[in-house]
Copies of this chain bind each other. A is one copy, B any other.
């Protein structure tokens, strides 16, 4: 009987035996815990939060959060002193930061399904991901302010041309560098790979003033930016 109860608790997860309102409360707290980097590594959205995450991503919640973080980033960008020697850098991640893969994730349970590299790579090669509009505005603003934009993505080198085509079609242009994972970077944790690349930027004389990413692994580690901006993403976690 005890074993059975344990199994049931395991299946039901954190919001076990809850009303709909309690489940929504718990899923809201789970989402905020992710944004605050309080969760350990997780591979899929908790089953009881599938509907909550779908509602957040397709409703106003996601848009308002994206606008808030872009607005805070823009305010910082305008406030910071630019040297103007071409070495003031803003780093952007790509997926769920500049480009939205929401059409893909909408067809794959909004993070409820285990990540499928092959299917996702097929989607990437289509090159049709739309821009995240508040990020596109921020991108243009920081360029106009005189920052150099460096794109640093976990995507592989072999997706370079599809990525460039997609970025341009979505309205992004005039970046300084586009850094993708080369063969040496395969298998590295994102935090290390991205830190190493930021460290190389610093060795090249760049001052990394801002960094925008939807994963904490885009932002933490070493050679971190003066200010880092965490875009919302309750659908997946990259260590």
Contacts and interface: CB of A to CB of B under 8 A. Distances in A.
Please tell me how many copies of the chain the complex holds: 2
A121 interface: no
Which of A14, A26, A65, A68 has most chain B Cβ within 10 Å?
Answer: A68
A226 to B, nearest CB: 11
**Chain A interface residue bracket vs B:** 20 to 34
B76 A30 contact: no
A32 interface: yes
Contacts of A39: 72
Contacts of A38: 68-69, 72-73, 229-230
A69 B33 contact: yes
A25 B60 contact: yes
A1 B79 CA distance: 26
Given A40-B72, A76-B40, A32 B35 contact: yes
A12 interface: no
Contacts of A228: 37
Interface in A99-129: none
A37 B64 CA distance: 16
A196 interface: no
Interface in A76-93: 76, 79
B75 A33 contact: no
Contacts of A69: 33, 36, 38
A188 to B, nearest CB: 20
Nearest to A72: B38
Nearest to A59: B25
Contacts of A64: 25-26, 28-29
Nearest to A35: B36
Nearest to A71: B14
Nearest to A219: B37
Nearest to A232: B32
Interface of A: 14, 25-26, 28-30, 32-33, 35-40, 60-61, 64-65, 67-69, 71-73, 75-76, 79, 227-230, 232
13 contacts: A25-B64, A32-B232, A33-B72, A36-B37, A36-B230, A36-B232, A38-B69, A38-B72, A38-B73, A38-B229, A40-B72, A40-B76, A40-B227
